[in-house]
Amino acid sequence: MRTFIAIELPEEIKAEIAALQDELRRARAEVSWTKPENIHLTLKFLGEVEEQSVDRVTKACVEAARTATPFPLNVEEFGAFPSANHPRVLWVGLGGGVEEARRLQSELDERLAGIGFEKDARAFSPHLTIGRVKSPKGAKALFSRARAYPLPALSFTIREIVVMRSQLHPAGARYTPLAKAKLSDA
């Protein structure tokens, strides 16, 4: 089963991102928008995982989560990978406890490498994917709208990580939580 490790977002964050997406849709750019209910912070994409391996993945997540205490993140900016001039992925960037998020992701990467998953080659950049650009048509108008949009200062506290199953369907991906690992209270 397709599996990844994520941080789920509070509904109010998803609602604000949905409002941003609605505004950006007016640019009529060719974008496949992420459904607001599917927006999350990916810590590690695992790909296909055998069902019998999910327990080992969960154990690695629990061990990694124990090394971190709850920390805040806040919504900060709109951007694109690889760049605004050549956008392929549209994102909302996160600030606040970014170093804590990086440490947690690094610990998770290390624990998962210990059970056979390849470490991430790229540095972790905390962001929320909100859309994938299908063609450059309308990208300039999209970024013009994004710059003018007053993204509210929103903050939330990370208290757990989630092992998530991803099922691909013609109407879009469906995510199902398989297990949760709480961060340490210490």
Token pair for 31: 């974008």
Q: Which of 14, 111, 127, 165 is catalytic?
A: 127
* Domain boundaries along the sequence of the chain: 2-182
Helices (H) and strands (E) in the chain, counts: 4, 9
Catalytic residue flag (residue 169): no
- Tell me which of 19-28, 31-40, 136-145 is least confident: 136-145
- pLDDT, one tens digit per residue, over 63-93 is 999 999 999 999 998 999 998 888 999 999 9
Q: Which of 6, 14, 20, 40 is catalytic?
A: 40
**This prediction's pTM:** 0.93
Residue 168 DSSP SS3: coil
Mean pLDDT for 24-32 is 93
Closest by CA to 20, choosing from 34, 6, 41, is 34
What is the assigned CATH class of domain 2-182? Answer: alpha beta
Question: Quick one: what percent of the chain has pLDDT higher than 90?
Answer: 80
Catalytic residue flag (residue 127): yes
Element containing residue 88 per DSSP (H, E): strand 87-96
Mean pLDDT for 4-9 is 97
